[in-house]
Amino acid sequence: MKQLLLVFLFLVILSCSNTEESYSPISAPLDIPEVFENNILPPVIPLDNPQTEEGIALGRRLFFDRILSGDGSQSCASCHQPQLAFSDDNPTSRGIEGELGTRNTMPIFNLAWNYSERFAWDGKELSLERQVLEPVSNPIEMNSDWDEVIDRLNAHPDYPTLFNQAFPNEPISADLVTKAIAQFERTLISANSKFDRYLLGEVSLTANEENGLNVFMDEARGDCFHCHGSPNNPLWTDNDFHNNGLDATFTDLGLGAITGDPTDNGKFRSPSLRNLAYTAPYMHDGRFDSLEEVIDFYSEGLQASPTIDPLMKKIDQGGVQLTDQDKADLIAFLLTLTDPSFLETQGPPN
């Protein structure tokens, strides 16, 4: 009897593999840059969503496709534009109906190295996969309905095949859309700036850039490194939440609205300082148009509040009052974190 059952099962398996051309996606591990390999922990890849060539290609196509939005007018890339390091140049984002959101569009790079996996300015998104669900259905973003999105994808001439190649024998679902897009997002890696090449010993810094680095690292001047990384943490962010002293009272509670803890009010995630040349305007609400304004703020514009980070110094005087030379050099250094090659390699699918 047992033998019979086995033979039967075997036949079923054979017949399955005969009728449906089962496809095995090709594994495509991330290409880890040398400056990351040398210094920081490996990226976070969920066990149930390994990187594959087909998954990444599908994710790239979906990311640039307006099919995800309610009226077919917007894709993820409408706000996350490759030529702006996957951010945009509006102070706050603009949805399909032209409505303004309250937050500045975040750039997308090196997100697989956000080890605590708390995404968005306030940490409300708990994984890259889950993050994808939000903009699609958000009325002031893509204003779509997930069931309709799935219907549209199923009725599309290409997507059913592409999904089947990336995720064999699974029906198209929101879950698979999020997996594919997250795989694509994890391939958006920026680690080829002048400063990266300096770390690898390939180029040297100018005297101004070097002084700027010293201001950044000097506890008595910039003291930026305690929150924004260092040559040893070339992500240039701690991916943690702080109130850096923008406001005395808060219209946006940030992390506090997510945790419900008033001691988190006014805290936002430290952004990476890579690619600032492309990501203006700055801060969670895009209040500063230029890096000059940002540095003036840190130097003399700090606002006291109960949750301001203890790392912010001389708040009663607005800050540590950097000299004009130190300010200019600090900006020169920040701009060495610009990676033009990142913009070139990451366009829409052909």
Q: Footprint of other proteins on this chain (CB under 8 A)?
A: 38-41, 113, 115, 214, 217-220, 225-227, 229-233, 235, 238, 240, 263, 304, 306-313, 315-316
Q: Measured in Å, how far apart are the chain's first and last C-alpha atoms?
A: 56
- CA nearest 282: which of 248, 320, 331? 331
14 makes contact with ligand HEC (CB under 6 A): no
Q: Which residues contact 140 (CB under 8 A, 6 or more apart)?
A: 95, 97, 99, 100, 101
CB of residue 219 vs other proteins: minimum separation in angstroms? 5
- Of the pair 113, 167, the CB lying nearest ligand HEC is at 113
CB of residue 322 vs other proteins: minimum separation in angstroms? 14
Residues paired with 242 in a beta bridge: 268
333 makes contact with ligand HEC (CB under 6 A): no
337 makes contact with ligand HEC (CB under 6 A): no
Strand pairing category for 241-242 and 268-269: antiparallel
Of 198, 282, 335, 336, the one binding ligand HEC (CB under 6 A) is 282
- Of the pair 35, 177, the CB lying nearest ligand HEC is at 177
Per DSSP, the three-state class of 106 is coil
Residue 121, binding choice from ligand HEC, other proteins, none, Cβ under 5 to 8 Å by partner class: ligand HEC
C-alpha to C-alpha distance for 49 and 117, rounded to whole angstroms = 15
- Of the pair 78, 164, the CB lying nearest ligand HEC is at 78
CB of residue 125 vs ligand HEC: minimum separation in angstroms? 6
Angle at 76 between CA 70 and CA 79, to 5 degrees: 105
Cβ neighbour number for residue 203 with a 10 Å cutoff: 12
The dihedral over CA atoms of 280, 324, 249, 95, expressed in degrees to the nearest 10, equals -10
C-alpha to C-alpha distance for 182 and 245, rounded to whole angstroms = 33
Task: Give me 150's structure tokens.
Answer: 């799935």
CB of residue 184 vs other proteins: minimum separation in angstroms? 24
* Binding residues for ligand HEC restricted to 200-229, rule: CB under 6 A: 222-224, 226-228
- Of the pair 32, 133, the CB lying nearest ligand HEC is at 133
93 makes contact with ligand HEC (CB under 6 A): yes
CB of residue 35 vs ligand HEC: minimum separation in angstroms? 19
Task: Give me 62's structure tokens.
Answer: 């979906």
Q: Which residues contact 147 (CB under 8 A, 6 or more apart)?
A: none
- Of the pair 159, 268, the CB lying nearest ligand HEC is at 268
Going by the DSSP 8-state scheme, the letter that residue 248 receives in this structure is S
For residue 2, the number of C-alpha atoms closer than 13 Å in the C-beta half-sphere is 0
| Residues in contact with ligand HEC by the rule CB under 6 A | 68, 74, 76, 78-80, 93-95, 101, 103, 105-106, 108, 111, 119-122, 128, 131-132, 135-136, 141-142, 181, 185, 222-224, 226-228, 242, 244, 246, 268, 270-271, 273, 276, 279, 282-284, 294, 298, 309, 311, 330
